[in-house]
Amino acid sequence: MKGVQEYYDKTAAEWAAEGYGDEAYLPCLDEFLSLLPPGGRVLDLCCGAGYETGRIRARGFEALGLDFSGGSLSIARARNPDIPFFQGDMLGDYSQVGMVDGILLSAGLVHVETARLPLAFEQMAKVARPGGWVLASIREGRGKLAEWSLREIDGEQYDRNFIAHTPDEVVRAAEGLFSYCRELPTDMPIWRQLLFRREGA
C-alpha cells in the first residue's frame, strides 16, 4: 500500500489540470488576500501543483509555495518560474522560507491526524508574523474517511489518509498561537474555510 506523498506524485498532472482549469478554484481567495498588506508575502502551504500560488502572485503579492510532493512541485515550478517553491512537510520545520504575512492552507489539514493538528499550527507560528493571517480549508466531519482515502491507480493501492475535522477541533488546536476570527463563505457545503490571526499583534 502506497502513501500520501506517493499518491500526489502519481496524480500531480490530474490535480494540475483541474486546478489550473478552474479560475474560481478557491472562491474566497480574494477576501483572504484583502486582509493582507498590499504586496505582502504569502505562503501557499501544501501548494500542490501551484495553481493557487500563481493566483496569489497574479494579484500582486509575493507568493511562495511549499509541498512534500516532488511530482507536484515540478509542475508548479514549470508553470510559475518566477515563484520560489520549497519541498518540505507541513508538520516539519520549514522556517527557512522566512516570515510571511499570510498562509493559505487549502485542504492541507485533510492529511493531518486530529492529535497532530497542534503541531501543524506550531510550525505555521514559526513563519507567520504577529498579526498575520491563516486561511485553513477543512473537510467537515470526524476522523478518517475510508471512501476518500483508498484509491487504486494502475493496479496499485494508495492510502491518502484523508481526515475530516470539526471546526471546533481545529480551533482548539490553534489556541495560544492563533485566534479564530470567522468563517469565510463558500459554495462548497462539506468544506469549511476557517480564518485565523497570529497572536502577538
SS3 assignment, position 110: helix
Q: pTM of the prediction? A: 0.93
> What are 36-76's pLDDT values in tens digits?
999 999 999 999 999 999 999 999 999 999 999 999 999 99
C-alpha cell at 28: 474566497
CA distance 23 to 51: 9
CA distance 152 to 137: 26
* Per-residue confidence (pLDDT) for residue 201, from 0 to 100: 64
* β-strand partners of 150: 159
Q: Where are the alpha helices (DSSP H) in 80-128?
A: 117-125
Low-confidence ranges of the chain (pLDDT < 50): none
Q: Where are the alpha helices (DSSP H) in the chain?
A: 4-21, 29-33, 51-58, 70-79, 117-125, 146-149, 167-174
